[in-house]
Structure 1
Amino acid sequence: MLDVIGYPVSVLLWCWHHVFGFLLGDANALAWALAIVFLVFTVRAALVKPALAQARALPKMRQLTTRVAAIRKKYPDDRFRQTEELRKAQRELGVSPFGSILPLLLQVPAFLGLNQVLRAFTASPDAANYVFSLADVRSYLAATLLDVHFGDALLSLTSTGPGLVQATWLWQAAPVVIPLVLIATVATHLTARLAVTTQPMTGPQATMMRNLSLYVLPLSVLVFGAALPVGLLVYWVSSNVWMLGQQRLLSRVVDRSGH
């Protein structure tokens, strides 16, 4: 099933790798890293329009937040009436409850597809991988950053039997993995902080979501990032840095346009 996602992602990665491979050499680590980075930029650029629509909807979201508080105060013990009034307010303001998460949902297939493609490089080192030839696969496996391969992870978890998992630490990968994980963690926190300041929410659920986005999600990146291969970490860092810059830029554009 993931092949449906893997093929278009592999095409984009193949194109960018051949661009940078022509300039730097096919097995050059920077060529592969830039190919992953520009894959991110390509996907993110395609999502700028829905992200801009989301940014322009922020004033209406603030109005909706105010109306939600009023609805809960007016009907404190009537959950059915609260739901009906909330739907009515959403229709009047033209706000979709899924609008704020649409850009995030649209990028999930790209992450899953890249994960499928990159893991296939190391899982089948002697076979072609989607649109990549065997020579491409070998150039990916030969590329290293500070003697660390793109398929290496700081922490590898291997099943050794029913309910048994063996953890293996590859400390050689630490000089590459740790900086990438730290950058991804900081970028995730800063992106969440910017989102909180531009999308004020009230209520206990809002407080919980704020804490999740500000602290729990960045901490999960810090913890689970050690188990991600370097190639996926490059994607994660690039995506979060792009997202941080995009949010700042779009908020300024919306403020200047007055929409």
Structure 2
Amino acid sequence: MDIQRTFLIVALAIVTYALVLQWNQDYGQVADNPSVTISSSAQQQPAVQHFNTVNTTDTKNNEDFSVPAAVANASQEAPNTLNQDLTPSNTGLIYVKTDVLELAVDPVGGDIVELKLSQYPRQAKNPDIPLQLFENSSERVYIAQSGLMGKNGPDASGERPHYSTEKQYYQLVEGEDSLNVDFTFSKNNVNYTKRFTFHRGYNQSCTERQIEQRKKECMNELGYQIGVTYLVDNQSNENWQGSLLARIKRDGQGDPSSTTATNTATYLGAAVWTPDEPYKKLKMGMMDDKEFKQKVEGGWVAWLQHYFVAAWVPDSGTTNTMFSQRRVEPSKFYVVGYASPEVQVAPGEHYQFKSTLYAGPKIQSHLKKLSPGLELTVDYGFLWFIAQPIFWLLTFIHSLLGNWGWSIILLTVIIKLIFFPLSAASYKSMARMRGLAPKVQALKDSCGDDKQKLSQGMMELYKKEKVNPLGGCLPILVQMPVFLSLYWVLLESVEMRQVPWMLWLTDLSSKDPYFILPIIMGISMFVQQKLNPAPPDPMQAKVMKMLPIIFTFFFLWFPAGLVLYWVVNNILSIAQQWYITRKVERAMATKA
């Protein structure tokens, strides 16, 4: 039993560390940190921008896949316009502000080149500096683009349309729940209106305190959704043909929103919905090796980072071409998006292309309503089927208590109660083993160096006393998936980001700044060891004494919320084990 228990705990330590490394390998992407240079002259380009066409189409692959006609026939020089580089100019930007978004739109092409999340500070210590999701600068490129392609599309001719607006600054004022911002352009007797629709993120009846705490009942699920509608008014004498192209363009730099400090990283890369896989990852390494193209009815395409996501969601009733592309040197940009089917607009007729851009936090309830499978961008790993109920229970408790720290403590108590019978069986087995320690020592003294005789004697002793030497192992193994699932819930859920508990713990999603909780956790592990039977082998005893120190070191950089769970769990375990040990020892003493 001592050997098995020691092996189990050592294995637990190794598995915990291996989990950290494997998570980083599977979900973290190594940033290639390209030298993205946008010269000052480039930022002062003329209003009309040209495409930098790069045709990376593999004609062999085209035998099995054909792009929509509006895409394939857009330009004889560039038959595959999915590969065209719509380059924003950052000239004369149009600014829009809502209660949750601050963004800038380039009138040349109508791309969103800047977007800040005013309700999510970049750092907790600087609450007035919002996290910037989209950016188009010499340091970082991450933008949302859309355009009309095809035979008559204004973005397919080699130049980007220069839209006009009534104002340069728009704001969603008090009393309004939505805001439309129209970008207009005319060419060849065809009038185009690119309309952005914004919504209020929080109900106006909520107090500033409720908004500051991001109360679920106050949040509007449309707050981070940006409606993008193209209105085509064909006043020419010929049919108009075209399609919508929407995409996300990003460089290969690291995740600026990640707050982990355990050498881990959540998934950074693209994802797409397909009929076979409702959450198909397109890792950057995969995009380097092979482009993705597939026709999908409805669906979505997204770019993920820690806590936040940007996603294009087309009309659910259309069949679109989802694609990914890695730009060749020297630009080194990753591109994911979709192209809609081609449509024809007769003379004197109107047509609307509709799409939705989500740019904001990974709030599962909002994402799920927007498009099926989009909530899976909150990536809980292979134990998602355990993590999801844990997340639901945690959020339910929070709705009652209003504090995430106390919610984690109550969740720990509930989980402990659920596993109480298993834990009790484990502690009873350990208590019996502890009670047999004098007999085991006497057996060792009588057997001397005869290992085989000692092993046989111990097995007979266990059989006589009705003690299962492996009785304490299974309950611990059963609880491991719950611990790992909770780890991912606390690491990936944006609800945990920068939320305080009390005193010095102002951010449960990052490490304890003073390492107080990890130290308490190490002390609690040491106390637990004192309640367990001591290993008869001196080397095992030394290893056991080192484990609290090793685990304390591991937990120094773990999210404070997870360490809080482990501390509370240890304290409850100590109380339960102490009670059961005393009860079993009394029973054994009476029997003797």
After TM superposition, the structure 1 = structure 2 runs for residues 239-250 of structure 1, keeping only pairs within 5 Å, are 239-250=569-580
Query: What's the offset of the Cα at 1:180?
Result: 1.0
Match of 1:174 in 2: 513
In the alignment, the residues of structure 1 paired with residue 563 and residue 478 of structure 2 have an alpha-carbon distance, to the nearest angstrom, of 19
Which amino acid letter does the alignment assign opposite residue 118 of structure 1? L
Match of 2:492 in 1: 120
Matched to 2:517, the amino acid is L
Q: After TM superposition, list the pairs within 5 Å mapping 1:1-259 onto structure 2.
A: 3=381, 5-24=383-402, 30=403, 32-57=404-429, 60-62=432-434, 64-121=436-493, 137=494, 139-145=495-501, 148-153=506-511, 173-175=512-514, 178-195=515-532, 199=533, 201=534, 203=536, 205=537, 207-213=538-544, 215-254=545-584
Structure 1's 103 and 211: CA in aligned 2 closer, same or farther, altered over 3 A?
farther
Contact map agreement 1:6 1:114 (CA 8 A) in 2? no
Partners of 1:217 and 1:70 in 2: how far apart?
Answer: 28
> Is the CA contact 1:13–1:35 (under 8 Å) kept in the aligned structure 2?
no
Question: 1:14-52 CA distances to partner (integer Å, 9 max, x unpaired)?
Answer: 22322332442xxxxx2x223322332222223322333
> Structure 2 length as normaliser, TM-score?
0.32
Preserved contact between residue 65 and residue 202 of structure 1 (Cα < 8 Å)? no
Matched-pair contact (CA < 8 Å) for 1:13–1:36:
no
The alignment partner of 2:479 has SS state of helix
SS of 1:61 mapped into structure 2: helix
In structure 2, relative to structure 1, the CA distance for the partners of 1:62 and 1:179 (3 Å cut) is closer
1:21/1:252 CA distance change after superposition, 3 Å = same
Secondary structure of the residue that 2:513 maps to in structure 1? helix
- Mark the structure with the bigger radius of gyration: 2
User: Do the aligned partners of 1:43 and 1:107 also contact (CA within 8 Å) in 2?
Assistant: no
Partner residue in 1 for 2:220 = none
User: Deviation of residue 117 (structure 1)?
Assistant: 2.4
State the one-letter code of the partner of 1:194. L
Structure 1 pair 96–226 and aligned structure 2 pair: CA distance change class (3 A): same
Structure with higher helix content: 1
- Give the drift of 1:77: 4.1
Which residue does 2:211 correspond to in 1? none
Kept after mapping to 1: 8 A contact 2:518/2:563? yes
Would the aligned equivalents of 2:510 and 2:560 in 1 still touch at CA under 8 Å? Answer: yes
Q: 1:147 and 1:185 mapped to 2: Cα distance?
A: 18
Q: Measure the CA separation in 2 of the matches of 1:77 and 1:111.
A: 41
Query: In the alignment, residue 190 of structure 1 is paired with which amino acid?
Result: V
Q: Distance in 1 between matches of 2:490 and 2:582?
A: 36
Q: What stretches of structure 1 of length at least 5 have no aligned partner?
A: 25-29, 122-136, 154-172
CA contact (8 A) 1:17 1:34 kept: no
Amino acid in the other structure paired with 1:152: S
Query: When the two structures are aligned, how many residues end up with a matched partner?
Result: 209
Q: Cα–Cα, structure 1 residues 231 and 62, in superposed 2: closer, same or farther, change >3 Å? A: closer
Are the equivalent residues in 2 in contact too, given 1:184–1:240 (CA < 8 A)? yes
- 2-side partners of 1:189 and 1:3: how far apart? 31
Following superposition, the deviation at residue 68 of structure 1 comes to 3.3
Residue 179 of structure 1 aligns with an amino acid whose one-letter code is I
Mapped to 1, the partners of 2:431 and 2:574 lie a distance apart of 20
Taking a change above 3 Å as real, the CA distance of residues 4 and 38 of structure 1, as seen in their structure-2 partners, is farther
Q: Specify the SS of the correspondent of 2:468.
A: coil
Letter in 2 for 1:87: M
Output the aligned Cα RMSD.
Answer: 3.1
Distance 2:430 2:485 in 1: 31
Amino acid aligned to 1:117 = V
Q: Distance in 2 between matches of 1:71 and 1:249?
A: 28
Aligned with 2:482: secondary structure?
A: helix
- Asked if 2 retains the 8 angstrom alpha-carbon contact of 1:55 and 1:254, the reply is no
Tell me the amino acid that sits aligned with residue 389 of structure 2. V
Alpha-carbon distance between aligned partners in 1 of 2:478 and 2:397, rounded to the nearest angstrom: 26
After superposition, the Cα gap between the structure-2 partners of 1:43 and 1:208, relative to the gap in structure 1 and judged at 3 Å, is farther
Q: Normalising by the residue count of structure 1, what TM-score does the alignment of the two structures yield?
A: 0.66
Say if 1:202 and 1:256 are closer, same or farther in 2 by CA, change over 3 A.
closer
Conserved in 1, the CA contact under 8 Å of 2:498 and 2:508?
no
The percentage of counterpart residues that share the same residue type is 22
Closer, same or farther: CA 58–220 of 1 in aligned 2, 3 Å: closer
| Structure 2 unmatched runs, 5+ | 1-379
